[in-house]
Structure 1
Amino acid sequence: MTGGKQQLTIWGRANSVNVQKVLWCLAELDVTYQRIDAGMQFGKNDQPDYLAMNPNGRVPTLVDGDYVLWESNSVMRYLCMAYGEGTPIYPQSPRARAAVDRWLDWTLSTLQPVDRPVFWALVRTAPEKRDMIQIQKDVDAEGVVWRVVEAQLASRRFIEGDQFTIADIAIGAFARRWLGVEGVSKPTLPNLQRWFDEVAERPGFISFVAPPMS
């Protein structure tokens, strides 16, 4: 890997979807970094030193020399601007960039809120404690949101056209969770599946998003 500046540090556990987005982005940019486990079973994120970097106590947090940044989508934008000059995964033109940005915002405002209850219930809750009736209701609600992506991909190879961008990273990390959970009834979304099969072949996805969910 190469990088023109001093080594970056990413704080966050590898099974966090928001950390996975950043690691996938780093792989696309071929940037060297160090990752330090933090959050859930690893702790650290509730300690004063960490909270001084990220007052939310969440992951990931990026440290680049004396610069600290939190919020995964902002971290991806920064990495592209600081380490990926001219990179096609974050286009230069205002309209193309804004089109990508809206999907990053959408994942936070619309997708993540409906993904979280399903993922936690089916991946991080013991089977005997699951309320399958409620879970199916939550799955149905999430399915409505994924139909937005399904329609977007009806006439596009990637989320914003023929070029893979960080919009595909942001949505792809959540699509892995949606398509990976089992034991519930989900709608058939062929455009989503076709797109996912393609982005899932990218090395960054294989390394950081594809491993078993936990």
Structure 2
Amino acid sequence: MFVLYGKPTSINVRKVLWLCAELDLPFSHDPAPAPDVLSTLNPNRQVPVLRDGDFVLWESNSICRYLATRQGRVDLLPCAAQARALVEQWMDWQATELNSAWRHVFMARVRQHPDFADDARAEASLEQWNRLMTVLDHQLAASNAYVADTDFSLADIVLGLSTQRWRSTPGNKPVLRHVDAWFERLRPRPGFAEHVDNGVA
């Protein structure tokens, strides 16, 4: 049994928690690792961190890839090169493009952090976030079901959490009917109510 470190309110920890529910995978969860333990496991002192025996892994999307591969879940992370590349493309897009866009407006309007009090910057952040969510909407219109294809995959897990955060952040947002329909398709998934649409942004 592996150990997952990180508070369950963290969006990146919630990716792994949702995946574990999808996999029906038993694990031990340490939601508040001591600072010295965390710094030993991850030089960045960030969560989530996974320990599987002597193997330690950090970065949430890498953890998701590892667990899907460990459990042989080729439906979530395909073996075929092109199908896998598409899933990983959208996972990487979430971690780089989408996360960079939302940081300022989320910290300003949800976390209400004093370092992000510039409302003009928050509005610019939301505008960029909206633009990227429109990119996702176009992709869902083309794929006609889930992000990378007609089947649910790791791309839907990481982007489902980002979408829940977008929906929870105050501000003017476009109506994205394909994103809305896809989000409704995610609702019956194992772990979705507990780890995604649970009132935590």
TM-score (norm 2): 0.92
From 70, 86, 107, the equivalent of 1:120 is 107
Conserved? CA contact 1:60–1:71, under 8 Å: yes
Structure 1: how far apart are the matches of 2:122 and 2:37?
Answer: 37
Secondary structure of the corresponding residue to residue 63 of structure 1: strand
2:19 matched to 1:25?
Answer: yes
1:4 corresponding residue in structure 2: none
1:138 is matched with 125
**Unmatched tracts of structure 1, length 5 or more:** 1-6
Cα displacement (A) at 1:121? 1.5
CA apart distance, 1:201: 2.8
Deviation by residue 1:30-70 (Cα, 9 ceiling, x = unmatched): 100111113xxxx73xx233211110000000011111100
Q: Could you tell me whether the CA contact under 8 Å between 1:12 and 1:61 is conserved in 2? A: yes
- The answer to whether the Cα contact below 8 Å between 1:14 and 1:37 also exists between their aligned partners in 2 is yes
State the distance in 2 between where 1:86 and 1:14 align: 24
Partner of 1:3: none
Cα gap change, 1:50 to 1:155, in 2 (>3 Å): same
| Residues in 2 aligned to 1:24 and 1:162: alpha-carbon distance in whole angstroms | 20
- 1:160 paired residue number: 148
2:18 and 2:11 mapped to 1: Cα distance?
10
- What residue in structure 1 maps to residue 37 of structure 2? 49
Please tell me whether the aligned partners of residues 90 and 148 of structure 2 are also in contact (alpha carbons under 8 angstroms): no
Matched letter for residue 199 of structure 1: L
Identity across the alignment (%): 35
Alignment partners' CA distance in 1, 2:2 and 2:106: 30
Say if 1:123 and 1:213, in contact at 8 Å, map to a contact too.
no
1 CA distance for matches of 2:102 and 2:188?
A: 23
Report if the CA contact (8 A) 2:104-2:121 is conserved: no
SS for the counterpart of 1:79 is helix
Q: How many angstroms apart in 2 are the aligned matches of 1:107 and 1:20?
A: 15
The alignment of Structure 1 onto Structure 2 pairs a total of residues equal to 199
> Which stretches of structure 1, 4 residues or more, deviate above 2 A after TM superposition?
129-137
Q: Which amino acid is 2:42 matched to? A: N
Moved more, 19-28 or 129-138: 129-138
* 2:53 is the counterpart of 1:59: no
Match 2:90 to one of 86, 99, 103: 103
- Cα deviation for residue 108 of structure 1 reads 1.3
Measured in 2, the distance between the counterparts of 1:33 and 1:76 equals 14
Q: Match for residue 30 of structure 2?
A: 36
Residue 142 to residue 86, structure 1, CA distance change in 2 (3 Å) = closer
Identify the range of structure 1 (189-198 vs 118-127) with the bigger mean alpha-carbon deviation.
118-127
Correspondent of 1:206 among 185, 188, 193:
193
1:151 paired with 2:145, answer no
The TM-score normalised by the length of structure 1 is 0.87
Give the C-alpha shift of residue 28 in structure 1.
0.8
- 3-state secondary structure, aligned to 1:173: helix
Partner SS, residue 17 of structure 2 = helix
Closer, same or farther: CA 65–126 of 1 in aligned 2, 3 Å: closer
Matched residues in 2 for 1:140 and 1:131: separation?
15
Identify which of 177, 182, 188 aligns with 2:175: 188
